[in-house]
Amino acid sequence: MSRPGDWEGSSPERLYVITGGRNGSQVPAPLDLVTLIVATSGPRHGMPPEQAAIVRLCSSPLSVAEISAYLSFPVSVVTVLLGDLLVDEQVAARAPVQRAPLPDRALIEAVIDGLQQL
């Protein structure tokens, strides 16, 4: 049984302290769940442990959703932390690769007709 002074891993009080009471990111473009994050360097001395954990996790690109899952933090908390890391240039954000538009149906049919005539 938890006492009133105990902080649980995902208690609202702890999350409030981690984000400094902020609920928005300082980054002009919003981060979505599939934005890829990669660390630009290792954790710095004196960095908050939650931010250091993100930097260590992102040695290879991870999505915002994956970071949230690995740290067991809500996405809103992760985006605030990532915003701080982006401003400090500790991580870089990259939009996921967009699917290429499908070629025109007429072009595909013309290629098929050309191949059939060979």
Measuring CA to CA, which residue among 19, 14, 5 is closest to residue 76?
19
Measuring CA to CA, which residue among 84, 77, 64 is closest to residue 23?
77
Measuring CA to CA, which residue among 88, 87, 90 is closest to residue 58?
90
Rounded Cα distance, 104 and 108, in Å: 7
Q: Which tens digit of pLDDT belongs to each residue from 38-94?
A: 999 889 898 988 999 999 999 999 999 999 999 988 888 898 889 889 988 999 998
